[in-house]
Amino acid sequence: MIFVMIGQDGPDGQPLRKRHRAAHLARIEAVNAEGRLMLAGPFSDGTGSLIVFEAASLEEARAWMAADPYVTEGIFVRYEVKPFNPVYPKPQ
């Protein structure tokens, strides 16, 4: 299943991102290496991030995000994980 995570940065998000970026990117790279990452990155206005990834279930997707340093270290003051049904581009 495919999921989307939208994380909203708190007021200290930018300085905290710098401190915890390496650990966050290591987790993202692991999912990428498994072929389960479709898209990830910060919003250009500095308000948060988007991650689109595969997981076996909503519970697994939520647990994976709950353990991310951007969640555990308070970069994201709010985040949401939702199932996603991509229509375009058409899956191959």
pLDDT of residue 80: 98
Q: Residue 70 falls within a domain, yes or no?
A: yes
Instruction: With respect to residue 33, please indicate whether it lies within any of the assigned structural domains.
Output: yes
Q: Are 36 and 53 in contact (CB under 8 A)?
A: yes
Q: Total structural domains in the chain?
A: 1
**Assigned domain for 92 exists:** no
Q: How many residues does the chain have?
A: 92
> Comparing 12-16, 18-22, 43-47, 62-66, which segment has the lowest mean pLDDT?
12-16
Q: Is the pLDDT of residue 92 over 90?
A: no
Residue 22 domain-assigned (yes or no): yes
Residue 16 lies in a domain: yes
Burial of residue 68, with CB atoms counted within 10 A of its CB: 0-12 exposed, 13-18 middle, 19 or more buried? buried
| CATH at residue 14 | 3.30.70.1060
Residue 73 gets the label, from left (phi > 0), alpha (psi -120 to 50) or beta, of: alpha
Is the pLDDT confidence value at 67 over 90? yes
Reported as a pLDDT band with limits 50, 70 and 90, residue 14 is confident
Q: What is the mean pLDDT of the chain?
A: 95
